[in-house]
Amino acid sequence: MVKDFVFLVVFLVLTLPEIAVAQTHSTPTPLVAVQLIDLSWKTEQDFTLLFSDLKAKGVNTVIIRLFQNGGTRDRNGRAQYDSGVYFKSDQAPLLTDLLEPACRAARTVGISLYGWMTTRNCDWYAYVQREWQDERYNLETKTKEFYPRCDIFHPAFRKKISDLFYDLAGYDLDGILLQDDCILRSNEAFSAHARQRYYRETGQDIDAQEFYRETVRIDGKTYVSKYSSRYYAWQDWKIDKLFEFITELALVCKKRRPALKIAMNFYYEILTVPAHARTWYAHDLERARNCPIDLFSFMVYHRQMAAELHKTPTQAIAMLSTMTTTALAEIKDPNRILMKLQVRDWDNGRYIEAQEIKTAFTTINQFPGVGIALVPYNRKVDLDTILSIQ
C-alpha cells in the first residue's frame, strides 16, 4: 500500500510538468465567428440568448459593431443618424452602452467577444472638428479638397483617437478589430500636416501633377493609369506612416490590457495583387507583420470579387483556396488568420443562399487552424446549414 502511494507521488511529480507543458502548447481552437452590424440586441438578456444560440450552432467568437456614423446627409447637411459610439468614453458621443451588457453576456455564455471599431471614419470628429479632416486630390477637377475622413497626421486627432481606443480597451473584450477605413488611398494624405511632415522627412513636396502621369476615363470616372517614380516613393512613405499609426493604437490598447488581441481588416487584393493593395490602400503585409497585429482579417467577399473581377460566384469561390494558401505563406501561423465571408450581396442587399456560403466555408475550412467569419450576421443566416460540415 505504501509502495503504491510512493509510486503515485513519484508518477505525479514526474508527469504533471509534462502535462502542463502539453496543455500550454495545445493547438488553439480555430475561430468560427459572426460579425454583427445589426444592433437590435440591447440588454444583457438579449445578448445572452443570442450568444447561447450561436454557441450551440458552432460559433465561438462574435464581433460587434461599436460605432455609428451619420449616413446620408440632406442638402442642409443634416445626418440620417446620430453619430457616436456604443461604449463609455469622454472622447466621443455615447449613443448607448451596448458593450457592457455584451461583455457580461459573453463571459456568462463562454464565447469570445471582439469590438469592431472605426479609425478614420468618425463623423463625430470630422463634422465637428473640420480642421481634423484630411485632404485628397480630386482627379476630375484636378484640385485638392477636404473630405470627411480624419487626418492621421493631425496631432490633435491622433491624441483623441488614441485616448478613445484606450477607453475601449478597458472593457472585458477578447480583442478589437480595426475597421477597413484604416487605409490611405492613392489620392489621400494631401493635408497640410502630411505635406509638412513629408517635406521635413524627405525634402520632397507632395505634388499631384508629378505623381499622376496619365489618367483614363472608365464609365464616367477618372482613374490613374500611370504613376511616376516619385509617387511610389511617397506611397512607401505613406505605408510606413499608416502602420506607425496602427502600431500606436495597438500599443495604447495593450498598455491598458496586455492580453487584448488586435485584429485588422485587409482588402482581398492584398492576397491576389499585393501591388494594388499598396497603391489603393497603403496596405502591405510585410510592414503589417512588423506591427503588434495579432489577427489578420482578410475580407475575401466572393460576390464582391465576382463583380469586380468579372467572374461568376462559383469562380470567385474557387479562388479562396489559393488565397488562403497565400495568407498562410505570408502569416505562417493559421491561428492568426481570419477569412471573412459575406452572407449578403452588397449590390442588391439580399442574403445569399446558405448552400453557396457553405461551399465557400468548406473551401477555407480544409485548411486546419484558419479562422472563418460570416459577415453580416442576423437571424436570416442559416447557420445550421453553413456550419453543418464542422
What pLDDT does 13 receive? 39
Q: What is the mean pLDDT of the chain?
A: 92
| Over residues 333-340, mean pLDDT | 98
22: pLDDT strictly greater than 80: no
Question: For residue 223, is it within any domain?
Answer: yes
User: What confidence score (pLDDT) does residue 304 get?
Assistant: 98
The confidence band for 2, taking pLDDT boundaries of 50, 70 and 90, is very low
Residue 356 within any structural domain of the chain? no
Is position 164 within any domain? yes
For the chain, the C-alpha Rg in angstroms (whole number) is 23
Cα–Cα distance for residue pair 224/232, rounded to 1 Å: 13
SS (H, E, C) the chain: CHHHHHHHHHHHHHHHHHHHHHHHCCCCCCCEEEEECCCCCCCHHHHHHHHHHHHHCCCCEEEEECEECCCCECCCCCECCCCEECCCCCCCCECCCCHHHHHHHHHHHCCEEEEEECCCCCHHHHCCCHHHEEEEEECCCCEEEEEEEECCCCHHHHHHHHHHHHHHCCCCCCEEEECCCCCCCCCECCCHHHHHHHHHHHCCCCCHHHHEEEEEEECCEEEEEEECHHHHHHHHHHHHHHHHHHHHHHHHHHHHCCCCEEEEEEECHHHHCHHHHHHHHCCCHHHHHCCCCCEEEEECCHHHHHHHHCCCHHHHHHHHHHHHHHHHHHHCCHHHEEEEEECECCCCCCECCHHHHHHHHHHHHCCCCCEEEEECCCCCCCHHHHCCCC
Per-residue pLDDT at 331: 98
pLDDT tens track for 376-390? 999 899 999 999 865
Q: Could you give the number of structural domains in the chain?
A: 1
CA distance 251 to 120: 18
Kindly state whether residue 205 falls inside one of the protein's structural domains.
Answer: yes
Q: What is the pTM of this model?
A: 0.91
In this predicted structure, the answer to whether residue 24 has a pLDDT above a threshold of 80 is no
Residue 367 lies in a domain: yes
- Distance separating alpha carbons of residues 72 and 162, to the nearest angstrom: 27
CATH code, domain carrying 368: 3.20.20.80
**Any domain includes 358:** no
The boundaries of the domain holding residue 296 are: 2-351+363-386
Domain annotation covers residue 228:
yes
C-alpha grid cell for residue 164? 478613445
Mean pLDDT of 333-351: 97
**Per-residue pLDDT tens over the stretch 72-117:** 776 667 777 799 999 999 999 999 999 999 999 999 999 999 999 9
Identify the pLDDT of residue 5. 36
Average pLDDT on 265-290 reads 98
How far out from the chain centre does Cα 121 lie? Answer: 13
336: pLDDT strictly greater than 80: yes
Looking at the domain assignment, is residue 357 inside a domain? no
